[in-house]
Amino acid sequence: MPKVWATSGADLHLELTGPRVRAGLEVALREAIRGGRLRPGLVLPSSRALARDLGIARNTVADAYGQLVAEGWLATRQGAGTWVADRPTSAPRQVTTTSRSAIHVRYDLRAGVPDLSTFPRTAWLAATRRALSAAAFSVLGYSDPRGLRQLRTALTDYLARARGVVVTPDRVVVCSGFAEGLELLCEALRARGARTVAIEQYGHPRYRRLIEAKGLRPVDLTVDGGGAAIDQLAHADAALITPAHQFPIGVVLEAQRRRRAVQWAADSGALIIEDDYDGEFRYDRQAVGAMQALAPEHVVYAGSASKSLAPGLRLGWLVLPERLVDEVLAIKEQLRRLSSSIEQLTLAEFITCGGYDRHIRRARLAYRRRRDRLVAMLRREAPQVRVTGISAGLHALLELPPTESEVDIVARAAAGGLAIDGLHSFCAAADGSRPALVVGYAAPPDYAFTTAITRLCAVLPH
């Protein structure tokens, strides 16, 4: 029997049909939004209020809300309730291809993004308030291209303590994420006459493109279980590597190769760029400190808040050899690329008051639990899949049986609204390696994680 309910807050006039209450509630809400009756921005009653009015369990309402948030019909924010999302009132688009822009992503298991729902909003706002209250007027003008002294000092303490980086505040340059840092370094290398940059055979295609766009030629380094093949560096002018956790294979650059790499840089005058993109997230193994500490005059250490806090902050940092500081600053000055003073002050305060460490500790624990759940579910549901690269970071490598097609699996997942990447999308040349998936387990909010993994298991060989 259809029922009509008036709720406290917005009057939703929902009609639930069918025997399953939660499914009925989801259908009713979806239809009301699709039909335009519940308009974007309309704040829904709290799950408690709606449950009381409907005489059903609060969890049922919360689960239905959570599902519709994951599907994009509703939006939510801690402290601000749940409202109808700002989206077209037509049905979600059907999937016809696997292209990124064409799929309607309900579950995102792509590597690269942390769980944005756990961004420490309250602590961040409190840090902003404290930092801004104490700031001199001058801070709000065009600031030092190195970045604000407060942030460079806070980063100096933090990087020395947490990553073993050899650093003083005058060697730190704050930039708009690692991407800008790499851009500045490529400009500086080009100005010095460099022509080639060695990069790992597997890596993010955006960095290969960036290097090419700056007029430098990327040269591939093979990657195996010990990390990048350092003996292939010979003729490069610089090298970009991910020693603590190769992206996306997930191995650590072995100690002997680290030593050989810095020896090569010292002997040839070449520069190593150490991309320490997820260095804070270590789980099972002993701490792997920054390689920069072996040769601070030959290695640029590059870090970012994109994994530890959120990519939207656009905050990253370079720790430069002395000989490069002026060159990089001159380029930065010329481009007038300054990061927001308020965000810089806030991060400085957040680090200094211990909020950053607390957030990292909490996040590390949460991601470790997710990783364990992912591994346990795969062991149970997809025993043919070999999971590697899981001792650190926010993603895992799922090696598939050789007869499987990476492309087909990615397409099947996309058809169900699940975004994942095949390993070969991180490799410019056909390398003949086994098919594999790169699964980022950090991005989904908690309530969507289990469903995302269940959907993943459903498209994997059993």
Ligand X SMILES: Cc1ncc(COP(=O)(O)O)c(C=O)c1O
Of residues 146 and 208, the one with the C-beta less far from ligand X: 208
Q: How far apart are CA 63 and CA 42, in angstroms?
A: 19
Sorted by sequence, the CB contacts under 8 Å of residue 247 that are 6+ apart come out as 111, 200, 202, 203, 204, 275, 277, 393, 426
Of residues 112 and 145, the one with the C-beta less far from ligand X: 112
Of residues 66 and 311, the one with the C-beta less far from ligand X: 311
Residue 279 within binding range of ligand X, rule CB under 6 A: no
Instruction: Output the smallest distance, CB 225 to ligand X, in A.
Output: 19
Of residues 24 and 177, the one with the C-beta less far from ligand X: 177
Residue 114 within binding range of ligand X, rule CB under 6 A: no
Of residues 171 and 204, the one with the C-beta less far from ligand X: 204
Residue 277 within binding range of ligand X, rule CB under 6 A: yes
Do residues 438 and 426 lie in contact, with contact meaning Cβ atoms separated by under 8 Å?
yes
Largest Cα separation within the chain, whole Å, is 81
Q: How far apart are CA 325 and CA 7, in angstroms?
A: 62
Instruction: Output the smallest distance, CB 181 to ligand X, in A.
Output: 8
DSSP string for 264-296: HHHHH--EEEEE-TTTT-B-SS-----GGGG-T
Residue number with the smallest Cβ distance to ligand X = 177
Report residue 292 as tokens.
């920069």
Question: Residue 182: enclosing H or E segment and its boundaries?
Answer: helix 177-191
Instruction: Output the smallest distance, CB 248 to ligand X, in A.
Output: 8
194-253: contacts with ligand X (CB under 6 A): 204, 242, 247
Residue 317 within binding range of ligand X, rule CB under 6 A: no
Sorted by sequence, the CB contacts under 8 Å of residue 280 that are 6+ apart come out as 162, 307, 308, 360, 364
21-50: contacts with ligand X (CB under 6 A): none
Report residue 133 as tokens.
């209250």
Which alpha helices (DSSP H) does 300-434 contain, by range?
A: 322-335, 341-352, 355-381, 406-415
Instruction: Output the smallest distance, CB 216 to ligand X, in A.
Output: 17
Of residues 268 and 425, the one with the C-beta less far from ligand X: 425
50-109: contacts with ligand X (CB under 6 A): none
Neighbours of 130 (CB within 10 A): 16
In 56-151 the beta strands, taken as DSSP E runs, fall at 74-77, 81-84, 107-108
Report residue 132 as tokens.
């801004």
Do residues 245 and 392 lie in contact, with contact meaning Cβ atoms separated by under 8 Å?
yes
Do residues 229 and 239 lie in contact, with contact meaning Cβ atoms separated by under 8 Å?
no
Q: How far apart are CA 384 and CA 379, in angstroms?
A: 8
Q: How far apart are CA 219 and CA 214, in angstroms?
A: 14
Taking residues 344 to 373 in sequence order and writing x for each that binds ligand X by CB under 6 A, - otherwise, the string is: ------------------------------
Residue 440 within binding range of ligand X, rule CB under 6 A: no
Of residues 179 and 184, the one with the C-beta less far from ligand X: 179
Taking residues 167 to 196 in sequence order and writing x for each that binds ligand X by CB under 6 A, - otherwise, the string is: ----------xxx-----------------
Q: How far apart are CA 234 and CA 237, in angstroms?
A: 9
Sorted by sequence, the CB contacts under 8 Å of residue 250 that are 6+ apart come out as 388, 389, 390, 391, 392, 393, 395, 396, 397
Contact segment (CB under 6 A) with ligand X among 32-40, 75-83, 303-311, 404-412 equals 303-311
Of residues 206 and 217, the one with the C-beta less far from ligand X: 206
Site residue total, ligand X (CB under 6 A): 13
Instruction: Output the smallest distance, CB 167 to ligand X, in A.
Output: 18
Residue 308 within binding range of ligand X, rule CB under 6 A: no
Instruction: Output the smallest distance, CB 307 to ligand X, in A.
Output: 7
Of residues 30 and 163, the one with the C-beta less far from ligand X: 163
Report residue 212 as tokens.
């090419």
Of residues 66 and 316, the one with the C-beta less far from ligand X: 316
Taking residues 122 to 161 in sequence order and writing x for each that binds ligand X by CB under 6 A, - otherwise, the string is: ----------------------------------------
Report residue 320 as tokens.
């430069």
Of residues 25 and 302, the one with the C-beta less far from ligand X: 302
What are the residues binding ligand X (CB under 6 A)? 112, 177-179, 204, 242, 247, 275, 277, 304, 306, 311, 316
